[in-house]
Amino acid sequence: MAIFRTVVSAVLLGTLLSATPAPAAPPERVLIFTKTAGFRHDAIPTAVATLRTLVADAGMAADHTEDANDFSAANLARYRVVVFASTTGDVLDEAQQAAMEGFVRGGGGFVGVHAAADTEYDWPWYGRLVGAYFASHPPGLQSTQVQPELDGQPAGARWPITDELYNYRTNPRPQVRVIATVDERGYSGGTMGADHPIAWCHDYDGGRSWYTGLGHEANVYADANVIEQLTRGLRYAASRSDDC
Protein backbone atom coordinates (compact mmCIF):
# COMPACT_ATOMS: atom_id res chain seq x y z
CA MET A 1 0.00 0.00 0.00
CA ALA A 2 2.83 2.39 0.85
CA ILE A 3 4.42 1.69 -2.53
CA PHE A 4 1.07 2.37 -4.21
CA ARG A 5 0.69 5.67 -2.41
CA THR A 6 4.24 6.65 -3.39
CA VAL A 7 3.58 5.86 -7.04
CA VAL A 8 0.26 7.74 -7.02
CA SER A 9 1.90 10.73 -5.35
CA ALA A 10 4.68 10.77 -7.92
CA VAL A 11 2.16 10.61 -10.76
CA LEU A 12 0.11 13.45 -9.27
CA LEU A 13 3.22 15.55 -8.70
CA GLY A 14 4.33 14.96 -12.27
CA THR A 15 0.89 15.95 -13.54
CA LEU A 16 0.92 19.16 -11.50
CA LEU A 17 4.40 20.06 -12.65
CA SER A 18 3.58 19.43 -16.27
CA ALA A 19 0.40 21.51 -15.96
CA THR A 20 2.28 24.48 -14.48
CA PRO A 21 3.11 26.91 -17.29
CA ALA A 22 6.73 27.86 -17.72
CA PRO A 23 7.48 31.41 -16.65
CA ALA A 24 7.18 33.87 -19.51
CA ALA A 25 10.39 35.23 -20.96
CA PRO A 26 11.01 38.86 -20.04
CA PRO A 27 10.10 41.28 -22.83
CA GLU A 28 12.79 42.67 -25.07
CA ARG A 29 13.73 46.17 -24.01
CA VAL A 30 14.25 49.44 -25.88
CA LEU A 31 16.33 52.32 -24.51
CA ILE A 32 15.10 55.77 -25.58
CA PHE A 33 17.91 58.34 -25.28
CA THR A 34 17.20 62.08 -25.48
CA LYS A 35 20.26 63.85 -24.10
CA THR A 36 20.98 67.17 -25.82
CA ALA A 37 24.18 69.21 -25.86
CA GLY A 38 22.91 71.69 -28.43
CA PHE A 39 19.46 72.73 -29.57
CA ARG A 40 16.68 71.06 -27.58
CA HIS A 41 13.44 70.19 -29.37
CA ASP A 42 10.17 70.98 -27.63
CA ALA A 43 8.71 67.81 -29.16
CA ILE A 44 10.98 65.46 -27.21
CA PRO A 45 8.35 64.58 -24.54
CA THR A 46 5.83 63.79 -27.28
CA ALA A 47 8.41 61.71 -29.13
CA VAL A 48 9.18 59.73 -25.98
CA ALA A 49 5.49 59.14 -25.19
CA THR A 50 4.83 58.00 -28.75
CA LEU A 51 7.82 55.68 -28.80
CA ARG A 52 6.80 54.18 -25.45
CA THR A 53 3.38 53.38 -26.88
CA LEU A 54 4.79 51.84 -30.07
CA VAL A 55 7.31 49.79 -28.11
CA ALA A 56 4.55 48.47 -25.84
CA ASP A 57 2.35 47.71 -28.85
CA ALA A 58 5.23 45.61 -30.21
CA GLY A 59 5.34 43.56 -27.02
CA MET A 60 8.58 45.16 -25.82
CA ALA A 61 9.39 47.35 -22.83
CA ALA A 62 10.83 50.87 -22.93
CA ASP A 63 13.17 52.82 -20.68
CA HIS A 64 13.89 56.52 -21.17
CA THR A 65 17.14 58.18 -20.15
CA GLU A 66 19.18 61.33 -20.58
CA ASP A 67 22.04 59.87 -18.53
CA ALA A 68 25.01 59.02 -20.75
CA ASN A 69 26.32 56.76 -17.96
CA ASP A 70 23.68 54.26 -19.05
CA PHE A 71 25.93 53.61 -22.05
CA SER A 72 28.05 50.85 -20.56
CA ALA A 73 28.53 47.37 -21.97
CA ALA A 74 26.77 45.80 -18.99
CA ASN A 75 23.73 48.06 -19.18
CA LEU A 76 23.33 48.04 -22.96
CA ALA A 77 23.36 44.23 -22.86
CA ARG A 78 19.85 44.52 -21.38
CA TYR A 79 18.48 46.09 -24.58
CA ARG A 80 17.53 45.00 -28.07
CA VAL A 81 17.27 48.51 -29.55
CA VAL A 82 18.63 51.93 -28.66
CA VAL A 83 16.73 54.99 -29.93
CA PHE A 84 18.37 58.41 -30.27
CA ALA A 85 15.31 60.70 -30.28
CA SER A 86 16.33 64.24 -31.27
CA THR A 87 19.65 64.07 -29.47
CA THR A 88 22.00 66.92 -30.37
CA GLY A 89 25.70 67.61 -30.09
CA ASP A 90 28.36 65.62 -28.24
CA VAL A 91 26.38 63.40 -25.89
CA LEU A 92 28.72 60.43 -25.20
CA ASP A 93 32.35 60.28 -24.08
CA GLU A 94 34.85 57.86 -25.60
CA ALA A 95 34.11 54.99 -23.21
CA GLN A 96 30.37 55.39 -23.76
CA GLN A 97 30.91 55.50 -27.51
CA ALA A 98 32.89 52.25 -27.29
CA ALA A 99 30.00 50.65 -25.40
CA MET A 100 27.56 51.73 -28.11
CA GLU A 101 29.84 50.36 -30.82
CA GLY A 102 30.04 47.05 -28.98
CA PHE A 103 26.26 46.96 -28.62
CA VAL A 104 25.74 47.30 -32.38
CA ARG A 105 28.54 44.86 -33.24
CA GLY A 106 26.82 42.35 -31.00
CA GLY A 107 23.67 42.56 -33.11
CA GLY A 108 21.90 45.46 -31.42
CA GLY A 109 19.54 47.78 -33.26
CA PHE A 110 19.60 51.56 -33.60
CA VAL A 111 16.73 53.94 -34.39
CA GLY A 112 17.49 57.59 -35.07
CA VAL A 113 14.76 60.24 -35.03
CA HIS A 114 15.15 63.73 -36.53
CA ALA A 115 18.09 65.42 -34.76
CA ALA A 116 19.85 62.11 -34.23
CA ALA A 117 21.57 63.31 -37.42
CA ASP A 118 22.63 66.50 -35.59
CA THR A 119 24.67 64.49 -33.08
CA GLU A 120 28.29 63.40 -32.56
CA TYR A 121 29.95 65.06 -35.55
CA ASP A 122 33.40 64.01 -34.29
CA TRP A 123 32.54 60.31 -34.07
CA PRO A 124 32.85 58.92 -37.62
CA TRP A 125 31.48 55.49 -36.67
CA TYR A 126 28.26 57.16 -35.52
CA GLY A 127 28.03 59.16 -38.71
CA ARG A 128 28.08 55.94 -40.71
CA LEU A 129 25.58 54.36 -38.30
CA VAL A 130 23.00 57.16 -38.63
CA GLY A 131 23.65 57.39 -42.39
CA ALA A 132 24.16 61.12 -42.91
CA TYR A 133 24.81 64.20 -40.81
CA PHE A 134 22.52 67.24 -40.66
CA ALA A 135 23.66 70.21 -42.76
CA SER A 136 20.85 72.78 -42.59
CA HIS A 137 17.11 73.27 -42.76
CA PRO A 138 14.85 75.87 -44.36
CA PRO A 139 13.58 78.61 -42.05
CA GLY A 140 10.39 77.70 -40.25
CA LEU A 141 8.15 74.79 -41.11
CA GLN A 142 7.66 73.65 -44.69
CA SER A 143 4.95 71.56 -46.31
CA THR A 144 5.70 68.97 -48.96
CA GLN A 145 4.94 65.42 -50.05
CA VAL A 146 6.67 62.28 -48.78
CA GLN A 147 7.19 59.57 -51.38
CA PRO A 148 7.55 56.04 -49.96
CA GLU A 149 10.18 54.02 -51.77
CA LEU A 150 11.09 50.36 -52.20
CA ASP A 151 14.22 49.11 -53.94
CA GLY A 152 14.88 52.50 -55.47
CA GLN A 153 11.40 52.91 -56.93
CA PRO A 154 8.31 54.83 -55.75
CA ALA A 155 6.12 52.52 -53.68
CA GLY A 156 2.62 53.65 -52.80
CA ALA A 157 0.89 56.98 -52.66
CA ARG A 158 2.64 60.17 -51.62
CA TRP A 159 1.46 61.75 -48.38
CA PRO A 160 1.64 65.32 -47.06
CA ILE A 161 3.84 66.47 -44.22
CA THR A 162 4.50 69.81 -42.53
CA ASP A 163 7.73 69.72 -40.55
CA GLU A 164 11.28 71.00 -40.33
CA LEU A 165 12.87 69.34 -43.36
CA TYR A 166 16.54 68.57 -42.96
CA ASN A 167 19.18 68.91 -45.64
CA TYR A 168 22.07 66.50 -45.12
CA ARG A 169 25.81 66.91 -45.67
CA THR A 170 25.82 63.93 -48.01
CA ASN A 171 23.20 61.89 -49.81
CA PRO A 172 23.10 58.57 -47.90
CA ARG A 173 21.66 56.57 -50.80
CA PRO A 174 24.90 54.79 -51.80
CA GLN A 175 25.27 53.33 -48.29
CA VAL A 176 21.66 52.74 -47.19
CA ARG A 177 18.26 51.50 -48.33
CA VAL A 178 16.16 54.63 -48.83
CA ILE A 179 12.53 54.15 -47.79
CA ALA A 180 11.18 57.68 -48.32
CA THR A 181 12.08 60.94 -50.04
CA VAL A 182 10.67 64.46 -49.98
CA ASP A 183 9.88 66.59 -53.00
CA GLU A 184 11.88 69.82 -52.89
CA ARG A 185 9.68 71.30 -55.62
CA GLY A 186 6.93 71.67 -53.03
CA TYR A 187 8.83 73.98 -50.68
CA SER A 188 11.72 76.44 -50.52
CA GLY A 189 15.11 75.88 -48.94
CA GLY A 190 15.91 72.33 -50.05
CA THR A 191 19.53 71.84 -51.10
CA MET A 192 19.70 68.18 -52.14
CA GLY A 193 17.94 68.41 -55.48
CA ALA A 194 15.78 65.80 -57.16
CA ASP A 195 16.87 63.03 -54.80
CA HIS A 196 16.25 64.05 -51.19
CA PRO A 197 16.07 60.99 -48.87
CA ILE A 198 14.27 61.59 -45.58
CA ALA A 199 14.10 58.04 -44.14
CA TRP A 200 16.32 55.00 -44.62
CA CYS A 201 17.69 51.80 -43.11
CA HIS A 202 20.73 49.58 -43.42
CA ASP A 203 22.63 46.70 -41.86
CA TYR A 204 25.68 48.16 -40.18
CA ASP A 205 28.69 46.68 -38.40
CA GLY A 206 26.86 43.59 -37.15
CA GLY A 207 23.60 45.33 -36.22
CA ARG A 208 20.81 47.31 -37.85
CA SER A 209 20.16 51.03 -38.20
CA TRP A 210 16.96 52.90 -39.12
CA TYR A 211 16.51 56.67 -39.36
CA THR A 212 13.82 59.25 -40.12
CA GLY A 213 14.43 62.96 -40.53
CA LEU A 214 10.84 63.74 -39.55
CA GLY A 215 9.87 64.58 -35.99
CA HIS A 216 10.67 68.23 -35.25
CA GLU A 217 7.03 69.16 -34.56
CA ALA A 218 5.00 67.47 -31.82
CA ASN A 219 1.94 67.06 -34.05
CA VAL A 220 4.00 64.99 -36.50
CA TYR A 221 3.78 62.17 -33.95
CA ALA A 222 0.02 62.03 -34.45
CA ASP A 223 0.40 61.48 -38.20
CA ALA A 224 -0.64 57.93 -39.11
CA ASN A 225 2.01 57.73 -41.81
CA VAL A 226 4.77 58.72 -39.40
CA ILE A 227 3.48 56.23 -36.85
CA GLU A 228 3.60 53.50 -39.49
CA GLN A 229 7.18 54.51 -40.36
CA LEU A 230 8.30 54.40 -36.73
CA THR A 231 6.57 51.07 -36.14
CA ARG A 232 8.39 49.51 -39.08
CA GLY A 233 11.63 51.06 -37.92
CA LEU A 234 11.39 49.59 -34.45
CA ARG A 235 10.55 46.16 -35.85
CA TYR A 236 13.43 46.34 -38.31
CA ALA A 237 15.94 47.48 -35.70
CA ALA A 238 14.82 44.67 -33.38
CA SER A 239 15.34 42.15 -36.21
CA ARG A 240 11.67 41.23 -36.14
CA SER A 241 11.20 42.16 -39.81
CA ASP A 242 13.34 42.80 -42.85
CA ASP A 243 10.75 45.34 -44.04
CA CYS A 244 11.93 48.75 -42.90
Q: What DSSP element (H or E) covers 33?
A: strand 29-33
Q: Please, which pLDDT band fits residue 27 given cuts at 50, 70 and 90?
A: confident
Residue at 162 is within a domain: no
pLDDT digit string (tens) for 196-225?
999 999 999 999 999 999 999 999 999 999
**% residues pLDDT > 70 (the chain):** 90
Report the C-alpha gap between 126 and 119 in whole angstroms: 9
Asked if pLDDT for residue 46 goes beyond 70, the answer is yes
CB 188 within 8 A of CB 137: no
Residue at 64 is within a domain: yes
Residue at 48 is within a domain: yes
Mean pLDDT in the chain?
92
Q: Please, which pLDDT band fits residue 21 given cuts at 50, 70 and 90?
A: low
Q: How many residues would you count in the chain?
A: 244
Number of structural domains in the chain: 1
Report the C-alpha gap between 43 and 57 in whole angstroms: 21
Low-confidence winner among 15-19, 78-82, 159-163, 170-174 (lowest mean pLDDT): 15-19
Q: Please, which pLDDT band fits residue 113 given cuts at 50, 70 and 90?
A: very high
The residue range of the domain holding 82 is 25-133+199-237
Report the C-alpha gap between 205 and 130 in whole angstroms: 12
Cross-strand pairs, 61:
29
205 HSE (CA, 13 A, CB side)? 18
Q: What DSSP element (H or E) covers 115?
A: none
The model carries a pTM of 0.91
Asked if pLDDT for residue 82 goes beyond 60, the answer is yes
Residue at 32 is within a domain: yes
CB 82 within 8 A of CB 76: yes
